[in-house]
Structure 1
Amino acid sequence: MGHGGDVIDELTRDHEEVEELFTNIEELPSGDPMRKRYADQATMELVRHAVAEEEYLYPAVREHIVGGDALADKELNDHTAAERTMKDLESCEADDPRFDVLMSKLMTEIRAHVLDEEDNLFPRLRNACSAEQLERLGEKVRQAKRTAPTRPHPAAPDRPPANKLLDRGAGLVDRLRDAMSGRGRS
């Protein structure tokens, strides 16, 4: 969940971890209960990652990159679509006929989003910010992920300050639910 380094290194490692979970899902046969466990873990990681980006990365994009408002808005729209898919997936077991369709949709959405961030947003941010700014953002992102929600909340605000206020409470409730249900444990 926290790797160290600047914001781009931190978020890129998150992308790699989620891709590994997606690969694990793809390697298992349809209906295998482990697919649901991997999907839950991917959702937990994706939600924490998205919350951290919404709290710190996208405000920095708006501030430091020319045309950053449009870029951040596009990324936020990607998050909203993926959160809706994750919310639908949350109620499916691996043997549910909708599971494979929703999982495929989520993988497509996330892979396109990751490609866009890594090929477009991250290089532009690296050019626009100092190494020190990127390091500070990395630490803020790691802190945000520690208290972020672990379940999708597609109707929740995605911009400061409302998201910062509500995410902490939702994160606490989500982590309690996860502990009681065993969700996210291998």
Structure 2
Amino acid sequence: MTVSISEQDTARLGGAGSILMRQRREHARLDSMMHRYLARGMAPDGQDELWQEIVQLVFSHAFAEETVLWPVLRRISADGQDLTARVEQEHQEINELIARIEKSPEDPHCGAWIRQAFALITQDIRDEEDELLPRMREALSDRRLRQIGAAWEAVRASAPTHPHPAVSRRPPGNALSGLPLSAFDRLRDLAPATAPAVRRAALVAAGTGAAAAVILLVRRAVRRTCI
């Protein structure tokens, strides 16, 4: 019987550095952020800042899953193809919704779109913790779970932080298209639209070199998960 990782303790999940514990901690953080966002009484500036943090966490987290975790799951689980396809579809729907919000932030439907995105994210968390990640616990040693956790963290730290619906959900297509975009996403996070044009141009130019470095880092991390 598959047991949700939400019902297992740290030792059973392979230790604090395992991919299962890293995932569960980040899911809990995201859930807390979404609840705070929807709570009444938050100042508009604070809510906008929290929204950006949620977006950055959602997309870096999901990209690392698609690059590192789901290829492993497809190798070790008989139903890995179907399970990962379902979660990838959830990721795609979240991408499209948040891209719509970022494109039209003043649209009167934005509030409904945000709630819809949060509902999809919550469902995605449940699917991963209750069905996908337990397969990894059943098939892999504690040491292997920690290795995958380290690779996932390395990719997450250099992944895109904004929606890119046209990017493939699977490697190698996601890395070839998404990773160059990650450098620009992170530079954009440092230089918002209100920044002087010269500063924005300098950061974009820096992104060209950064993209190559990001791709190299991710290739090394993914290679480690295949050992």
TM-score (ref. length: structure 1): 0.89
Q: Residue 190 of structure 2 is aligned with which of 161, 179, 183? A: 179
**Identity in percent:** 26
CA contact (8 A) 1:149 1:172 kept: yes
Tell me what 1:46 maps to.
58
The alpha-carbon deviation at position 122 of structure 1 amounts to: 1.4
The alpha-carbon deviation at position 31 of structure 1 amounts to: 8.4
Query: Which piece of structure 1 moves more, 21-30 or 79-88?
Result: 21-30
Q: Residue 20 of structure 1 is aligned with which of 16, 19, 32? A: 32
CA contact (8 A) 1:87 1:154 kept: yes
Tell me what 1:106 maps to.
117
Aligned Cα RMSD in Å? 2.0
CA contact (8 A) 1:28 1:35 kept: no
2:199 is the counterpart of 1:155: no
CA–CA distance in structure 2, aligned partners of residues 38 and 85 of structure 1: 17
The alpha-carbon deviation at position 182 of structure 1 amounts to: 7.8
Tell me what 2:75 maps to.
63
Equivalent residues in 2 for 1:121-136 (5 A)? Answer: 121-136=132-147
CA–CA distance in structure 2, aligned partners of residues 83 and 69 of structure 1: 21
The alpha-carbon deviation at position 136 of structure 1 amounts to: 1.1
CA–CA distance in structure 2, aligned partners of residues 49 and 132 of structure 1: 22
The alpha-carbon deviation at position 92 of structure 1 amounts to: 4.5
The alpha-carbon deviation at position 166 of structure 1 amounts to: 2.6
Kindly tell me the number of residue pairs found equivalent between the two proteins: 179
What is the SS of the residue equivalent to 2:178?
A: helix
CA–CA distance in structure 2, aligned partners of residues 22 and 165 of structure 1: 31
CA–CA distance in structure 1, aligned partners of residues 102 and 32 of structure 2: 19
Q: Mark the runs of 5 or more structure 2 residues left unpaired by the alignment.
A: 1-15, 195-227
Tell me what 1:118 maps to.
129
Query: Which piece of structure 1 moves more, 69-78 or 30-39?
Result: 30-39
Query: Which piece of structure 1 moves more, 32-41 or 137-146?
Result: 32-41
CA contact (8 A) 1:40 1:90 kept: no
CA–CA distance in structure 2, aligned partners of residues 9 and 61 of structure 1: 16
TM-score (ref. length: structure 2): 0.73
Q: What amino acid maps onto 2:119 in structure 1?
A: T
Q: What amino acid maps onto 1:133 in structure 2?
A: R
Q: Relative contact order, CA 8 A, sep 6+: which one is greater?
A: 1
Tell me what 2:181 maps to.
170
Once the two structures are superposed, what CA deviation does each residue of 1:57-99 show, in whole Å capped at 9, x if it has no partner? Answer: 1101101112111111111111001111111122344x65222
The alpha-carbon deviation at position 119 of structure 1 amounts to: 1.1
CA–CA distance in structure 2, aligned partners of residues 80 and 109 of structure 1: 10
CA–CA distance in structure 2, aligned partners of residues 91 and 30 of structure 1: 23
Once the two structures are superposed, what CA deviation does each residue of 1:145-175 show, in whole Å capped at 9, x if it has no partner? Answer: 1110111001101111121233321110111
